[in-house]
Structures are given as structure tokens and as C-alpha cells.
Amino acid sequence: MRCYRGQGVDLLQYVLRRLGMMFVIVFGASFLAYNLQAYSSNPLSAFTESTEQNKSFLIAKMIRDLQLDVPPPLRYFSWLRGIVGGLWGDFDMGLSRNNIPVIELLAQAIPVTIKLVITATFLAIILGISVGMITAIRQYSRFDYVMTFISFLLFSLPIFWVAVLLKEFMAIQFNDFLADPNIPPATIITIALILGFIMASFVGGSKAQFLTVAAGGAAFSAAALTFMSGSNWFLEPALGIFGVSFLALCNAAIVIQLISGLDSKKGRIAGFGTAVSIAALYYPLQTLMSANASLVNVLAIFAVTISVGLTIGYFVSDIDRRVYSRISFFTAFISTFPIIIDRFMQEFPGYMNSDAVNRRPVPTLGQNNDMLTPEQLENFWVAGLDTAVHLVLPTIALTLISFAGYVRFSRGSLLEVLNMDYIRTARAKGLTERTVIVRHGMRNAMLPLTTILVNDFAGLLGGAIITEGVFAWKGMGQLFNDALRGYDMNLFMGVFVLSATLTVLANFVADLLYGVVDPRIRIRK
């Protein structure tokens, strides 16, 4: 909190004022929402066509139960009393119409929604920002035009439409493909060429360089695909020690290039050294990943790899210790994922051939497979794999949709920064292009991104309503849906207040964070 030094009182005042404002906003918004929902729904409409004998009794009962004789603006306050009760430890969100406390329903739904969106959000952020920044660096290149078109296209796609396409092509047809997992040579060549061109556009350079990279990438992809097709890889997937080492080395190269540049000798030792030692840890780490492992084991693996990485970083460097430690930290952290993914893959053949899955591993609906045996559920890796395959389609759909926003935003942000005078100064000082773009450009371009990152996490509910509906997940969106269709006022307000509070808090955190990361911003007195 460097920028607030000497203004502690101001900051306290600011935080208190903002908190007060947040209460007012959430109060106003919930009042609005309550009345909107109360006036636009009529629970008694269920009886209009009823022919039951005790119809009038039932109507009277419902009016009494739901307090329908109290006008909504007043009824709001009886709901509010439960919320305000939180101030003296008597918090009460009321009961749903099935007589289950709303807070319990919310507690069940929140983890589901978070599980649904978290992978997609991270993927979209990482892919979107990197693609956006590359398009900004190569402004007006062919890659830029293609990515601009693609991001506009993704902007215009309705998620429910994408979902149906994914179900058809990613799930049903992929499952059919697994019955006989051989890729015809013509398809291999096409896919390899496309992948080659994508890799080359990321790397860029002169025309000759572009073609070399494209040809190399295509040849490599073709070889990999032929190997995967020939060796039944799709039925028995594995990375093995070779896959893990290869990925670790590639990852190290990217991390080194971003942090110190590949021409730094110590950077190379720190990065590649870490990658090699992670690969060497492949077999020892398998002992930590037995069938009865848990999340603790996974954390332990990360602890082991990261401490190995940091040790290497420490001994490599004598000055600039932070730079090399950062290289080995990120190399170690990212390279651990392949090891864990490899462990999940080892369970795949067994999972796929079990009765519950019946050789069709990619499901189109649901958040887990109900037919798994207790034995399978107890196995951390099988249960995890089950969650993972259920996440495939929603994650792709959500990533595609939110990817476009990050591309456009980070592109615009970096372009704006690159036009600044300090970039010109940095170039004039004779810094390398890498340093100018990564240290002076990208870092500053990331600042405004904090705002949308935080807001996106808060806007989960909006995205979840449709996605959960399409893929039949039982999270917050589904709860909202149920509340709306079932005239469930308490449930509706529970979901609403939670999401409104999250949004307001996120805005507040974003403003504070912005002040921390950008010393130019000062809070207003």
C-alpha cells in the first residue's frame, strides 16, 4: 500500500464512505428488485384453472403463507429485517417455498457455480490477454485482422447456440470417433497445416521466418498426430516422462523470454534447470499420487516443485535475485500441471471402460456421473476426471464467449500505452525491444485490466443463468431460475442480494487495487 503512506486517515475515511455507499446501493437495488418481482409475478395464477374443491381454502392459505395481503413495498421490510438481523447475529434469509433455509440452498449452489466458471475465466484471461497483446504488437498484420474478425464473431455468438454446436461436434461426434480412433491422413495434414500457421502467426517475423516456423510447426504437429492416431493415444492418453519434460522445457523457454530474455545465461540456467529437475521429479512424485490421495497431496506436490525451483533460482543468482527466482518460480508452478494432468490421464482407460461411462466419455449434460460406483468415487483421480470431463463443454463455451472481450480490451490498452512518450524514451535509451514491450508496455497495459478482471468475477451470475440452464448444472443460475418460475420470493432475493453484494464489493476492491498498482491514482479527498 505504498501510495497511501501518510494518508492513512484519508484512506480510512474513504473506505468507510465507500462502505456506507455500498449499503445504500444494495438496499436500493434490493428494494427495486423485490418490488419488480412482486408486482410482475402472481403466485395465485396457479389456481386460475384449478378445479379443486377446496380452491378458496388453498388460495387463502397461500395468501397467508406468502403474506400476499401485505403490499410488496411493506412486505420488503419484513424480509429486510432478517438481513439486518445479521448486525446482531440473527441473520435470516428466510425459507424457500419448499421450507429449506435459503442460506443452505445458496451454500450448496455457490461452489457449483464457481467450479463451472473458474477454469473458463482463467483460460479466457490468459488466452485473451496474450492474443490481444500480440495483435497490438503486430497491429495491422494479417494475424491482427484475423483475430479482430474472430473476436467480433465470438462477440456476436449466443452462448446457447454455441452450446448446442459443441454438444453435437465436441461430444457426440468425438465419442463416436473414440469407437475407432484413427485420424485419416488427409485430416492430419489439414490440422497440421492450420496449427503450423497459428504457431507462426504467434511468433511472427519476416516472411522467410514465418514460413520456416509454419513448416516446422506443421511437421511437428503432423508427427504428433500420426503418433497419437497410430498408438491408440486417444483411448490410453498419457504424457509420460517425455511429454512432461518437453512441456516443461517449452514452458521454461516462454517464461525466460518474458522475464529476462533468452540471451541471459543465468536466466537460461534458472529456467531450464528448473524444468529439468521437475522432469526428474516425475517418478518420485508418482508416490505422492496414490489412489487415496486428496487435495492435500496435490498441494504438497506444488510445494515440492516450487521449493525445488526457488532453490535453483536462489543458487543461480548473486545479484538480481528476484528476477531469477521469479523465472524458476513460474517455470516450476506451470510445469507441475502436466505432471498432475498425466496422473488423471492414467485413470482414463479404466474410467472410460467402466459401466457408468460405457465408452462415451464426453457428456453433454450434468455436473457429475450418477452411476459411478462408490469405489470409483472414493478414488480422488477418478472423481476428478469425472468432474473434468463434465467441465469440458461448458468451459469451452464460456471461454469462447469471454475470450473476445479480453482480446479487444488488452489490444486497445497496449496500443494506447505503446503510443506514450515513456515508451519512446525507453526506446531512445537503447533498451531492447523485448524490455520495452514487456516491462514498459505490457506492465502498464495490465493496469486498466484489473478493473474488468474483478468485475468479471462478480458478474458470474449473469453468465451462469444461461450456461447452467443449457448444461443442466445445479448452481446459482439454476436457483434463480427455480425462484422465478416457482414464485419463490425469499430464494429470489437471496440470489439477488448475494450477486448484488458481490458486484458492489468487486467494484470497491477494483478501485482500491487500482490505487495500489498504479501510483498515479490518488484517492479523492
Partner 1 sequence: MSKINPKAEATLEKDENEIANRQTAGLSQRQIVIKRFVGHKAAMASLFTLIGIIVTVFTATGIRVGGESFGFTIPGWWPYSITDIDPEGAIASMCNGGVTGCPTLDLAPAFMDGDGVKFGNHPFGTDIIGTDYFALVVRGAQQSLMVMVIVSFLGILIGTVVGAIAGFFGGIVDAVLMRLTDMFLVTPVIVIGAVIGFRFGNLGVIPLALMLGFFAWMGLARFVRTEFLTLREREFVDAARVAGASNRRIIFKHILPNAMGIIIVVGTLLMSGAILIETSLSYLGFGVRPPDVSLGLLISEYQGTFSISPWLFWWPGALIVSIALCVNFIGDGLRDAFDPRQRKHISIKDRKRAKEMKRLNS
Query: Binder to partner 1 among 11, 469, 514, 523 (CB under 8 A)?
Result: 469
Give phi and psi for 494, each to the nearest 5: -60, -50
Nearer to partner 1, 37 or 328 (CB): 37
Identify which of residues 390 and 411 has a Cβ nearer to partner 1 in the complex.
Answer: 411
Query: Binding of partner 1 at residue 484 (CB under 8 A)?
Result: yes
Alpha carbon distance 288, 202 (integer Å) = 37
Reduced to 3 states, what is the DSSP secondary structure of residue 95?
strand
Residue 431 in contact with partner 1, rule: CB under 8 A: no
Closest CA to 181 of 343, 340, 349: 349
- The smaller minimum CB distance to partner 1, of residues 91 and 149, is found at 149
The yes or no reply on residue 161 touching partner 1 (CB under 8 A) is yes
Give the span between the Cα atoms of 420 and 433, in whole angstroms.
15
Task: Report which of 13, 25, 23, 22 is spatially closest to residue 508, judged by C-alpha positions.
Answer: 22
Here's the x/- map for partner 1, 41-80, by CB under 8 A: it reads as: x---------------------------------------
Find all residues with CB under 8 Å of 96, minimum gap 6, and list them: 102, 105, 483, 488, 490, 491
Asked whether position 205 contacts partner 1 by CB under 8 A, the answer is yes
Tell me the HSE value of 234 on the side-chain side, using a 13 A CA sphere: 18
Between residues 159 and 289, which has the closer beta carbon with respect to partner 1? 159
Backbone angles phi, psi at 216, to 5 degrees: -60, -45
Task: Give the distance, in angstroms, between the CA of residue 7 and the centroid of all CA atoms in the same chain.
Answer: 36
Q: Which residues pair with 95 in a beta bridge?
A: 101
Return the residues of window 445-464 that contact partner 1 according to CB under 8 A: 459, 461-462
Residue pair 175/360 in contact (Cβ under 8 Å)? The answer is yes
In the shown chain, the binding pattern of residues 4 to 43 toward partner 1, with x for contact by CB under 8 A and - for none, equals -----------------x--xxx-xx--xx--xx--xx--
Q: Which of 19, 153, 215, 280 binds partner 1 (CB under 8 A)?
A: 153
Over the window 84 to 123, marking each residue x when it contacts partner 1 by CB under 8 A and - when it does not, the resulting string is ----------------------------------------
Whole-angstrom Cα Rg for the chain: 27
CB of 503 to partner 1, least distance (A): 5
**Cα(388)–Cα(115) distance, integer angstroms:** 10
**Which positions lie near partner 1, rule CB under 8 A?**
21, 24-26, 28-29, 32-33, 36-37, 40-41, 138, 140-141, 149, 152-153, 155-161, 164, 168, 172, 204-206, 427, 459, 461-462, 465-466, 469, 480-481, 484-485, 496, 499-500, 503-504
